[in-house]
Amino acid sequence: MSDSDEYEYEEDEAGEEGSGEESQNECEDGSTRKRPREDGQVGTLLAANQRLLAEKAALAWENEELREQVKRLKTQLSAAGPRPGDAAAAPAAAPAAAPAAPAKRELVMQQVLAARDTTPLSAVSAPYRFTNVGEFPHAVVIGRRSRCREYEIEARRPSTFAFQLVFKDTGEPASESDISDEPVQFKLEIVYAENGSLVRASDFNRDAPSLTSPSLEGIHLQNMTDGTLSWQFRTTFTSSDTKPRFSQFQVKVSPTGGEAVDNPNLTFTSIPFTIRSKVSAPR
């Protein structure tokens, strides 16, 4: 190897070594220059965090103090009682709902009919003549023309047309107070069984001042008493006086006013009957 080659080699090594020291110094210098900046940012953040924690603790303490003050104020208000005007300012409580009114039981009218001892009229065999005064009807017969079961009254004997108000579901007697708190008035009319039209004195061959004795015009209105209605009279005409002859009749009772007028169960029409001078059933 020549001296020149040896020199070049040493120079290269020196160059390389110098270059390595410079690079290391640059890294060290760079690290030294950056560290102060990073340390300053961390310190700033730590300080800000500490301030926030301190503020949070202070707010928590203030919040707790406010809660305690609210509790103390509520206690004082409770001890002092309601202030004047609170009752007026408070909304009025809704009135309690009234209990539902019990449903009214249905009422009906029934006719009180003659019976044979304990045998009801519908089961009495024809012919049969009732002898008690004022009963209705006076007799059960087989009609001469119809050949069917019929009921008869004698014009000369009083007949009682009686009716009882009852509860429809049980048949037990009811009272007029079950209809209304006011007096309940009914009227009695005599109608033709064939068509329900009203019987008038002018319908007959004979001149009759009134249909009944006592006069129907004077007794046809009656207030219900203890749930009952009762009319007793004799007729001044017979079925043979009608045009055409041998008509049958019915008695119709109905309320004259108030709530009762709207209840069809309170209008009642009796069983049909024939009026004779003398009943055809034997004694």
pLDDT tens figures, 47-84: 667 776 666 766 766 677 777 777 777 777 776 666 55
Q: Are residues 32 and 116 in the same domain?
A: no
Measured on CA atoms in the order 132, 108, 230, 139, is the torsion positive or negative?
Answer: negative
Instruction: Pick the more confident residue, 127 or 203.
Output: 127
Burial of 256 (0-12, 13-18, 19+ CB in 10 A): middle
* Whole-structure pTM value: 0.63
Q: Are residues 264 and 144 in the same domain?
A: yes
Mean residue pLDDT across the chain = 80
Does 204 reside within a domain?
yes
Query: What are the pLDDT digits (tens) for 150-187?
Result: 999 999 999 999 999 999 999 999 999 999 999 999 99
When pLDDT is cut at 50, 70 and 90, the band that residue 13 belongs to is: very low
Does 255 reside within a domain?
yes
Q: Are residues 228 and 120 in the same domain?
A: yes
Q: Are 241 and 206 in contact (CB under 8 A)?
A: yes
Quick one: DSSP state of residue 283?
-
The structure tokens 């919040």 sit at 63
Query: What are the pLDDT digits (tens) for 125-135?
Result: 999 999 999 99
**DSSP helix/strand/coil, 197:** coil
Q: Are residues 77 and 111 in the same domain?
A: no
Instruction: Pick the more confident residue, 25 or 122.
Output: 122
Q: Are residues 74 and 125 in the same domain?
A: no
Q: Are residues 117 and 46 in the same domain?
A: no
Q: Quick check: 224 pLDDT over 90? A: yes
Looking up residue 137, the CATH number of its domain turns out to be: 2.60.40
Residues near 108 by Cβ (< 8 Å), separated by ≥ 6?
Answer: 165, 166, 167, 168, 265, 266
Q: Are residues 112 and 164 in the same domain?
A: yes
How many structural domains compose the chain? 2
Query: What are the pLDDT digits (tens) for 250-278?
Result: 999 999 988 889 899 999 999 999 999 99
Q: Are 204 and 268 in contact (CB under 8 A)?
A: no
Beta pairing class for 221-223 and 185-192: antiparallel
Q: Are 161 and 222 in contact (CB under 8 A)?
A: no
Burial of 173 (0-12, 13-18, 19+ CB in 10 A): middle
